[in-house]
């Protein structure tokens, strides 16, 4: 006869009462803290659809803008969709997209100050943004699918920081992890118009595509208003990527603040990279010397500020191309020092 043991009791599920009935958790006794959650998923489709979306050439309206608005709206209405969720006063919901040859990566970051977390809001935003992508492209690819909707990180509350271990993902999962320790990157865009949705972002996707072609797992573009670029840098640092490339906010306009925000976080200044980018730019325009972009290390993350113009981005990437692998290998402790 089998022996019944109680050494490993079932974990307590907070949404069940003592009689096993569903309930809404009472959070009145909890302290209000700043809470953040990041969720992600992958929309799998065809190369044809990817090309059409990136060129904004789908039959329906702007695909990514529509999916972004849908995801933000869904996050705000999560308590109406998930029965036992609390109503939250969200302070921010940001949704970004990345591309591979056959997927559109959807990532949502939700923030609030309150007594309970925003994981469900971030997950709901990703799921609904993905469903909206499907609705927008189904005429071209009815077989598209939204896969791997999952929580990446969460912060705040009694348990503090939690981050998904890549090993927790199923080895058979279609979705690739957001970060790989040695070849991960985040793209950050400083653009007030881009953050408001009144100005298209062209430089961010160009940088993301360039990095993807070189084997990086790319997060973003993360688009922040110039005044919020410091928060954008902290967002880009989530997950400890090996590289952050920013674009925009490096000039002398009153709102340009990317160099100051970056310099405030640097542990090691690497002015040679920024100087080389300015020098390369002067071959096309004397205005390149006005860029105040900086570069250096925040922890073990290399951060490089590029100008906001397509030409400035092109010049900056041409400077990075021959040295990026070498410098990242050195930062990781495995690069030669005599090349």
- Identify which of 217, 132, 203 has the alpha carbon closest to the alpha carbon of residue 166: 217
On whether 121 is known to bind a ligand per the annotation, the reply is yes
Q: How far from chain centre, in Å, is Cα 59?
A: 27
**Alpha-carbon distances, residue 137 vs 60, 74, 104, 200 (angstroms):** 8, 20, 12, 20
On whether 222 is known to bind a ligand per the annotation, the reply is no
Look up 135 and say whether it is catalytic.
yes
Residue 172, number of CB atoms within 10 A of its CB? 5
Q: To 10 degrees, what angle do helices 63-76 and 119-137 make?
A: 150
On whether 58 is known to bind a ligand per the annotation, the reply is no
On whether 302 is known to bind a ligand per the annotation, the reply is no
Which listed residue (26, 56, 57, 135) is catalytic?
135
Answer yes or no: are the C-beta atoms of 266 and 294 closer than 8 Å.
yes
On whether 107 is known to bind a ligand per the annotation, the reply is no
236-239-240-246 Cα dihedral, nearest 10 degrees: -20
Give the C-alpha separation, 43 to 96, whole Å.
Answer: 13
Give the C-alpha separation, 331 to 339, whole Å.
Answer: 15
Enzyme catalytic residues: 135
Q: List residues forming the annotated binding site.
A: 84-86, 120-121
Q: List residues forming the annotated binding site for substrate.
A: 84-86, 120-121
């Amino acid at each position: 006869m089998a022996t019944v043991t109680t050494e490993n009791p079932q974990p307590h599920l907070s949404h069940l009462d003592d009689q096993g009935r569903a309930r809404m958790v009472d959070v009145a006794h909890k302290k209000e803290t700043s809470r953040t959650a990041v969720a992600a998923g992958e929309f799998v489709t065809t190369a044809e659809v990817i090309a059409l979306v990136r060129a904004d050439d789908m039959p329906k309206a702007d695909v990514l803008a529509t999916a972004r608005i849908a995801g933000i709206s869904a996050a705000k209405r999560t308590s109406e969709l998930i029965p036992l969720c609390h109503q939250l006063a969200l302070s921010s919901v940001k949704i970004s997209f990345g591309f591979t040859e056959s997927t559109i990566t959807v990532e949502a970051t939700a923030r609030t100050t309150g007594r309970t977390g925003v994981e469900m809001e971030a997950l709901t935003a990703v799921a609904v943004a993905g469903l909206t992508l499907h609705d927008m492209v189904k005429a071209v690819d009815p077989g598209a699918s939204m896969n791997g909707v999952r929580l990446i990180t969460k912060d705040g509350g009694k348990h503090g920081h939690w981050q998904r271990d890549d090993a927790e993902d199923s080895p058979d999962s279609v979705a690739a992890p957001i970060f790989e320790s040695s070849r991960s990157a985040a793209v950050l865009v400083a653009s007030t118009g881009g953050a408001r949705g009144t100005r298209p972002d062209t430089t961010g996707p160009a940088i993301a595509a360039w990095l993807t072609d070189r084997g990086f797992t790319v997060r973003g573009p993360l688009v922040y208003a110039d005044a919020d670029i410091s928060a954008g840098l902290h967002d880009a640092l989530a997950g400890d990527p090996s590289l952050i490339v920013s674009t925009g906010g490096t000039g002398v306009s009153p709102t340009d603040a990317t160099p100051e925000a970056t310099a405030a976080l640097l542990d090691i200044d690497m002015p040679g990279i920024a100087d080389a980018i300015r020098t390369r730019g002067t071959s096309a325009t004397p205005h390149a010397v006005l860029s105040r972009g900086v570069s250096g290390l925040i922890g073990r993350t290399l951060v490089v500020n590029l100008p906001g113009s397509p030409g400035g981005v092109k010049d900056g990437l041409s400077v990075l191309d021959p040295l990026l692998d070498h410098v990242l290998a050195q930062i990781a402790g495995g690069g030669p020092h005599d090349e």
